[in-house]
Amino acid sequence: MSSTAHGHAASVGNGHDAPAGHHHNPGFIEKYLWSTDHKMIGFQYLFTGMAMALIGGFTVYAFRMQIAFPGMSIPGYGRVTAGDYNALVTTHGTVMIFWVAMPVLIAALGNYLIPLMIGCDDMVFPRLNRLSYQIFLVSALVLISSFFVEGGAFGGAWTSYPPLSSKSQYNLTGVGSTLWVVAVALEFVAFLLGGINFVTTVMNSRAPGMKLWDVPIVVWMIVLASILFMASVGPLVAGAVMLIFDQNFHTGFFDPVKGGDPVLWQHLFWFFGHPEVYVVLLPAMGIVAEVITVFSRKRLFAQRTVIMTAIAVGIISFFVWAHHQFVAGIDPRMANVFSVTTLIISIPVAEMVFVYIGTLYGGSIRLTTPMLWALAFIAEFLLGGVTGIFLGASGADIYFHDTYFVLAHFHYTFFPIAFIAVFAAITHWFPKMFGRTLNETFGKVHFWGTVIPFNCIFIPLFVLGVRGDHRRIYDYRHFPDSMQAGMQDLRVFATLSLVVLLAFQVVFLVNFFYSMFKGPKAPANPWHANTLEWAAPSPPPHGNFPEGLPTVYRGPYEYSHPDRKEDYWPQHIAPEGA
Amino acid sequence: MIEQYVPSASTFSPDIDHIIWLVLVITGFWFLLAEGVFFWLIFRFRARPGVKGEFITGEKPHEKRWVTLPHYLTLIFDLWILVVAIKVWTAVKITTPPAEETVRIIAQQWAWTFVHAGPDNKLDTADDVTIVDELHVQKDRVYHFELTSRDVLHSFSVPVFRLKQDAIPGRVIKGWFKPTLTGQFDVQCTEICGIGHGVMPARIFIESPEDHARWLKGPANVATAVPPSAPAAPATPGGTK
Ligand code: HEM
Ligand SMILES: [Cu+2]
Ligand SMILES: [Cu+2]
């Protein structure tokens, strides 16, 4: 158990599995695989998330190629059958959300940043933390294994609606669909354990002097996201158990013939699924707040408002779920209620974006690579946000529901969240994580090579959605109205843009791994930032703050303060004369 | 905007196009304004040697109004959109004009079965016309549909009508439409329903009363005799039919 709850400097690095005081050299397994150090667990999540992103990227490559060049044998995959197509789409969506966005944004960054940013030596429950990662790893392996069982991987979409998902005679992937549910349920358990840890740690282990408003926004956001996750996932875990029963023991929770109701699953899924969108959005917003304040040398505009709006978003997100079900056969009068709540939630979200834009006013803006990513997040997410209004407006959603318009909309939110904000985070905290510096030129090449193709993929998909293309279709040649002039060209253009985007990720990987070992050494605080992680050495040793745990004297964003010569004022520096 | 690409062929499709257009104008305006301000700020406040950033907390009332004002504007425009959206929704999905004819639509893996009432205009009689993957309707006639599924979820979608409704096994879901254009168009299944989801196309034939009467007399032949309308000419009807 960590001793930081007691506060003061003497307790550095105490009380972990490894005996304190004398440093014995841990073996490879103990250091990298069996560690309880929050930073190592953060890395485990980060690298697992990156590996899973390769799967998410490869699957989208394969199924997009099939759309653009139907029937072709795809280099690196082969022929994509109708069944393959569904399995690839399902895996892509499931992996990107549950095994990339969640682990990287919440678990990797939460684990790495929270103790450093609140100035303590580790999580409150380090072993629970280790268990959380191990369960997560098992969940990923279970999901991957479903590709190799009889019938192959589940292809009923990431939403897994029964009766398709509940009966093997319908989905033809009896084992695969059970493995899918089991994997998702295990993953939820892993994040529940992690969430308990985050919340408890931030409640109990903040550095002396750190009041709630002094906690950096990214920590606030990760904690709020964890609470949101924990509060919304319960019903879906229950639903998952019912689904496993329906699949394997022929119960009838979702089977109308046996008195069940398939729509029940949709309520359970989206009661979780919509808050889930904010579970990944909030940490991304937090990252962006950290980066734009550092690189515009500005205090966050109306900092308290950001936290208030985040709390408001969290609460309202529990009342919007059925906007995914306007045309699903629910009482049509209910749609009006959910249309109202959905447009209401646009207000705090828009407000957050206004605050970020306002922060730039009066700044001294440096367009470093992390800053480019953070700014791109705002620019792109705005489009994701406004297109959501079309779908929240029930009358318009009748047309757009389950078309590529919806798809492009949510990728304009998810891609900025899961990739653009994550790249902002990685490039921002890389010097801290690895004690070395990334190459800026490579960073910028990667930035433009990602952001431009991203728009070239999804703008055409908006157009296709407006023109009526519906989702999860492996070959549009069966639909004459979807084969009118220009439509296939748009599909090809989007797919080629994807190939370009994927190719540019090589630049990132090279820069990342090369710099990790060979990059120029980074100082402790290369960006002249205020928050506590920059008070620790780069990289921080076990126990984080070898010179004693810091004490906090001010808020996290006191940049360009008139009372100070330097344009930053770290949280842990004692005021003069104190 | 949409009707340039996808013909508008039901009484309520212009209303749906209108709400989409309204949302486009409102959100488009604010989107462009926000992006404009955003890029201008980045340019205007780029780092210059010797110029320090300003210290602005944004907590003072005269600063905060830059957030509260857009806040209230968002609210007002949200309300405007909501009122129109709910009106359209109510017209399409809640209120129903009296039926002139009723069709039964049965979805299954992976085909649509359409039961037409036939000459006596009554379902469940001997002269019902039941066909797979072809729905025949008359222009300017109010249809009710009874939608159901034999197995999994499907969704009955007719883009030219701007109409979409999920089909649920064990339930009969009712809805309506009134076609306003003749021609033949795609019917889609817009809920994933298994490996054949991508090959579940059907066609809707909207006919003049005379053509429709001719079709009723000899269903098999007339389908092809109806000239495809405007841009909906089948470009590459992939191999299934
Ligand atoms: C390179 C970036 C990406 C591209 C080009 C891409 C493209 C696509 C496309 C074309 C589909 C729809 C396929 C279909 O309906 O037939 C899809 C589905 C989906 N994507 Fe992505 N995607 C990308 C990244 C992401 C990310 C980062 C996330 C989430 C964090 C994500 C989440 C999803 C989800 C949830 C679905 C729905 C899957 C389903 O229908 O079951 N995607 N993606
Ligand atoms: Cu179907
Ligand atoms: Cu389908």
Residue A569 in any domain: the answer is no
Closest Cβ–Cβ partner in A157, A382, A475 for B35: A382
Question: What CA–CA distance (Å, rounded) separates B239 from B41?
Answer: 55
Residue B218: which pLDDT band, with cuts at 50, 70 and 90? confident
In a domain, A578, yes or no: no
With CB atoms and an 8 Å threshold, state whether A382 touches B94: no
Domain count for chain A? 1
Dig out the tokens for B228 from the structure. Answer: 């495809």
pLDDT in tens, A445-459: 999 999 999 999 999
- pLDDT tens-place string over residues B72-114: 999 999 999 999 999 999 999 999 999 999 999 999 999 999 9
A504 lies in which domain range? 34-535
Model pLDDT for residues A223-233, shown as the tens digit of each residue: 999 999 999 99
Atom 41, ligand 1: residue with shortest CA distance:
A157
- What is the arrangement of strands in the sheet containing B101-108, beginning at the earlier edge strand? B129-132, B111-116, B101-108, B143-149, B173-177
Nearest residue by C-alpha to atom 37 in ligand 1? A93
Q: Quick one: which atom of ligand 1 is closest to the CA of A471?
A: 15
ipTM of this complex prediction, to 2 decimal places:
0.91
Ligand 1 pocket mutation pick from A50, A80, A86, A89 by most atoms within 8 angstroms of CB: A89
Pocket of ligand 1 (CB under 6 A): A 60, 64, 89-90, 92-93, 96-97, 101, 157-158, 407, 411, 414-415, 418-419, 457, 471-472, 498, 501
Selected for mutation to probe chain A from B192, B193, B236 (highest A CB count within 10 Å) is B192
Q: Looking at the CA of B111, which ligand is closest?
A: 2
Which is nearest to B41 in space by CA: A331, A95, A358, A576? Answer: A358
- Ligand 1 atom, smallest distance to A67 CA: 16
Question: Which atom of ligand 1 sits closest to the CA of residue A473?
Answer: 16
Distance (Å) from the alpha carbon of A255 to chain B's nearest alpha carbon = 9
Does position A8 have pLDDT exceeding 70, yes or no?
Answer: no
The DSSP result for A21-75, as a single string, is SS-----HIIIIIS---HHHHHHHHHHHHHHHHHHHHHHHHHHHHHHHSTT-EET
Q: Which residue has the CA at smallest separation from atom 20 of ligand 1? A: A93
Residue A76: inside a domain: yes
Q: Do B63 and A298 touch (CB under 8 A)?
A: no
Cβ of residue B214 closer than 8 Å to a chain A Cβ:
no
Residue A435 has a CB neighbour count (10 Å cut-off) of 17
Preceding amide of A270 cis, omega within 30:
no
A240: its two tokens: 């998952």
pLDDT tens digits, A520-578:
999 999 999 999 999 999 999 999 999 999 999 999 999 999 989 999 999 999 988 65
Let me know if residue A22 belongs to a domain.
no
CB B166 within 8 A of CB B124: no
Residue from A52, A54, A60, A403 to probe ligand 1 pocket by mutation (most atoms less than 8 Å from CB): A60
Domain CATH number, residue A304: 1.20.210.10
**Does A424 score more than 50 pLDDT?**
yes
CB-based burial of residue A42 (10 Å sphere; 0-12 exposed, 13-18 middle, 19+ buried)?
A: buried
User: Would residue A332 count as lying in a domain?
Assistant: yes
Contacts (Cβ under 8 Å, ≥6 apart) of A196: A125, A128, A230
Given this model, what pLDDT does residue B1 score? 78
Give A267 Cα–ligand 2 centroid separation in angstroms: 21
Residue B184, strand partner residues: B205
